[in-house]
Structure formats: structure tokens, C-alpha cells
Amino acid sequence: MRGAARVLVVAAGLCGQLCAADAKKSPISSSSAGKQRAEQSAEQGVAALKAGQFAEATQAFVDAFRLSPNPKWLLRLGQVAAAEKKPVEARDLLRRFLNDSTVEADDPLRKEAQTLLDSLPVVDAGEILVAGPRGAQLSVDGRFVGSLPLPLPLLLPTGPHRVVASQDKWQASSEVKTRLARQVELRFKAGSDVAVVTLPPAVLVVDQAPDAQSAEAVQKRMQTALSRESYAVVPRRAIELYAKDLAGCLSDVSCLRTAAGRFGVEFVLWARTEKLGSGWRIELNLRDAATGAQLGTQSAKCDSCSIDGLLPKVGETTGSLTSAAVSRDRGELEVRSTPAGAEVFLDGQSLGVAPLKQSLLSGQYALLVRKPGYIDHSQQIELRGGGPLIIDANLLDRDAQMEPSPSVRIEQLRPLLPGKRPLWRIAAGASAVGAGVLLLGFGVSAFVQNGAILNNGCPESFGTKTCQFGTLVPGIGLTVTGALLTGAGAALLAWPPPKPKSQLSSTDVGSRGSPTLGVRF
């Protein structure tokens, strides 16, 4: 519902303004019939927009522009793009309308365009500066964008685009890829179907000035000086617009390198402008975006002058400072690590994680490759122009290098004492000897009493007065048993103790349990 309401509001404004708009003279002369047909086509565009038919509305306003190239048709196309939720395309059309010198400063359309422009969301975009035959009409990705020369570069979403230029029977096209906040140059030549695409290297300009007017004047003069050195400018406001999280930390090297990688810049130019009494002073500091290394510092001032009096010196200082950096060769550094994922430092500044490729100014650097748990790899390198310098860093495991190698050692341990007879053997032997002696005594007694006669001592149950002992058999049994027990006990007591034996043992020592062999004697 909000989108439909927005379309109705835009369409209603279009209808009222088209009916009340003055017939201003176009910068390109056209017949009154062409203007009338253009107005009629625009009315059809308003009706299509009101009905939500965006394709028909776009075509109607494009036809109106071709019949009568009036900048207000850019505003209408921008309103259609905004209704289609295409903020970058809408921003491009609206800002080119606002920058057109034929639009009066008090024109109500200007206020309307600025209000709509301020309401658009920010989406990553880049610019294409198109040059070609005057009057040639341009289209991007099938969408009409205007005719040459354009008052401003085209603003397009980042990524690939197809740009077509046509005039009468001539037509040429080119594939162009835009980068964030960068400006690509595209040149067409009449009669040729070949276009030249150039992406100049960029410098991020971080400026500080007392007021917006002096900051804009200084930045324009620096931009002119940098363009002479074939460099494009990425202004600080681009960082504030597309990367607000980086705008406040550009003095930090890691933050600066992140910004440089995102916007594709090679150098960062710090410009500080300040008013000194009745004069002005500017200090320039040029740094390498990849490492943050300072490449040069220069300043300029005028004692009694306005900001306009300082601007020529700004141009001269910027040119001399950047030309010295441009004259230095650049080389390609490629660092690979085993294992991958090691952090790469150059002169103490982190470049990122290996594997990485980085374009750097030629010279000597201290390289350090570091990964937790591994021994650092460090070396001095010299980077030269030409082919890439490839570094393969094989990192060694720190724990593996500290682990001792397996070893065998002989331990001379304390000798064992002579062996002792077990107590159970002594007790058993003594008991057997004692029992055997006792039985031998009984056996001998039985032998002595064998055949002895007992007069008048026999029990009455025997029925006789004379008895004779017959103890031969028991005597033999007791004597033999006693002798065996006595011999066995004596043998147990006489059996020698066990001799000490050598013992072989292994123990684990060291941080990783490397085997150690110990021999006991």
C-alpha cells in the first residue's frame, strides 16, 4: 500500500506540473510540433505511472526526451525509477537533472527533485564517464539514460553493464564493469564499433577543512592535479556514504587497508586545510594504502590571501607529491604458507592471511609469516617491478621441534640382596622333622617291646594270666613314616634360597612419551 500511495503521489505531482509547466527553451532547438508531441507523450507517461505501468511510463518519457531533449524528462524518468524501487538509477537521473544549467535555480521542479533524491536509500554504485559524438543517445542495459555530452558521469550499480551509443545509422556498444565509488572512462568514436574502456588507478582523498566551501574548492583543485597524473579521486564522502563503519578509523592502518581494498585505491592523500590569520595553509601527507607507509609530506601556504589564492599552490603541491610516488615501480608479492591461513606481516604491518597477492611499491621489506602453534618464518625481501615475487613459507610445528628423539639408556640400579628361605618352608621343614623324630621314637619303642611277656597283668577279657607284646608291624610303620617325615623336613630346611635375577624394564619419559629402556642387574 505504501508503494501504491507513493506512485499515486508522484503521478499526481506529475500531472499538475505538466499542466502548469512553462514551455522553456531546450538547449537543443526543436520544432514546436516536436515539443507538442513530447508533451503529449509525457501525459501518456503520467497516466501509465498512475496505473502502475512502469514500462509504459518509461517508454513514454523516453519518447518525449527524443522528441524534445528537455532535462525535465530526466526528472520524470527518475521518478519512475524511484517508484520501481531502483534507487541507483533514480539517483543518477535526478542528480543529472539538478546539475543541468538550463534548469533555473528557483524552478519548483528542482526542489521536488532534491527532496526525492534525499529520500532514496544508499546502494553500492560506481560511475561511468562517457565520451563520444555530440548528440549520440545512450542506453545502459536497455534503459535510455540521455544524450551526449552528459552533464555528469553515469551512476550505476556495481557490476557489469552494457552501454550502447547510437546516432543516425551508427551504433556501438561495450561491456563495462563498475566498481564501488570508482569512475570508469568509456570513449566512443563516431563511425567505429570499438570503444575504449579505462579504469585509472585511484587515490583516496581524506580532507579536513574549516568549512564545506573551502573543502570543495581544495578537493576540486586536487582532483585536477591528480587527473594530470592519470589518477582518479575517491573522496572521503564516498567512504561516509558507502562505508560508514570505516569513516572514523582511517588513521588506523588495518582500517585504512580495509577501505583501500574495498574501494580499490593505491594511495591515500591526507589534506588538512586551516586558516592562519589572514592567510591559509594546507598540509598534504601521501601514504601507501597497502602498508600505510608514508611516501611523502609537503605543505603550502599564503600569508595574506583568500582560499582562491591558495588553490594554485594546492595543485602544484599535489602534483609534485604524487608524481614522485607514481615514478616508483610496483611489484607483485605472492605469499603462500604451509599450512594455509598464516598471517602475513610486512614491516610490522599485517597484510592479511596467506595465500595472498598484493601489489606493492618496489623496495626492501621485512617479511614475517606467523601462525599460532608454529615457528615464525621471517626473511628480508626485495620487491622489484616486473614478475611477481613468490614466497613459499613452510612453517614447522613448534611442539614437534621441541620433542626429544627416542633414546635407549642403561640404568645401573642397586644390586639385589642375597635371597632368603621362605618362612613357610622353614615352618614346614621344622614341623616335618619334629613329627618324624617323634614317630621314630615310637617305632623304636615298638621294636623294643616286641615279644616282651607280661605276667599277671593281662586283662581278664584275654582269659589268660600271661600276655606277650606283638608290636613289630606298628614299629616298622612308625619307623618308616618317621624317617620319611624327618628326611622331608630336613630337605625343606636345607633347600637353598633363590638367586637374584636381572630384570628388563621400559619406562615412558619425555613430553610425548618417547620410549626409554632400563636394565636392572
Residue that wins the pLDDT comparison between 243 and 252: 243
What's the grid cell of residue 343? 598471517
Interval 182-192 mean pLDDT: 92
Contact status, residue 197 vs residue 145, Cβ threshold 8 Å: no
Residue 477 Cα distances to 339, 444, 471, angstroms = 91, 11, 10
Contact status, residue 358 vs residue 351, Cβ threshold 8 Å: yes
pLDDT in tens, 153-174: 999 999 999 999 999 999 999 9
Domains, the chain, with CATH or none = 1-122 (1.25.40.10), 202-326 (3.40.50.10610), 332-402 (2.60.40.1120), 423-494 (no CATH)
pLDDT of 29 > 50? The answer is: no
pLDDT of 16 > 50? The answer is: no
Res 506: pLDDT:
47
pLDDT in tens, 367-423: 999 999 999 999 999 888 777 899 999 999 888 766 555 554 545 445 555 666 677
pLDDT in tens, 488-500: 777 777 777 766 5
Angle between helices 72-83 and 54-67 (to 10 degrees): 170
Strand partners, 282: 273, 300
pLDDT of 307 > 50? The answer is: yes
Interval 351-375 mean pLDDT: 88
Contact status, residue 99 vs residue 28, Cβ threshold 8 Å: no
Average pLDDT, the chain: 80
Percent of the chain exceeding pLDDT 70 equals 81
Q: How far apart, in whole angstroms, are the C-alpha atoms of residue 138 and residue 133?
A: 11
Q: How far apart, in whole angstroms, are the C-alpha atoms of residue 428 and residue 444?
A: 24
pLDDT band for position 11 (50/70/90)?
very low
Contact status, residue 352 vs residue 370, Cβ threshold 8 Å: no
Interval 470-487 mean pLDDT: 77
User: What single-letter amino acid sits at 167?
Assistant: Q
Percent of the chain exceeding pLDDT 90 equals 29
Res 5: pLDDT:
38
pLDDT in tens, 451-464: 666 666 676 666 66
Element (H, E) at 401: helix 398-402
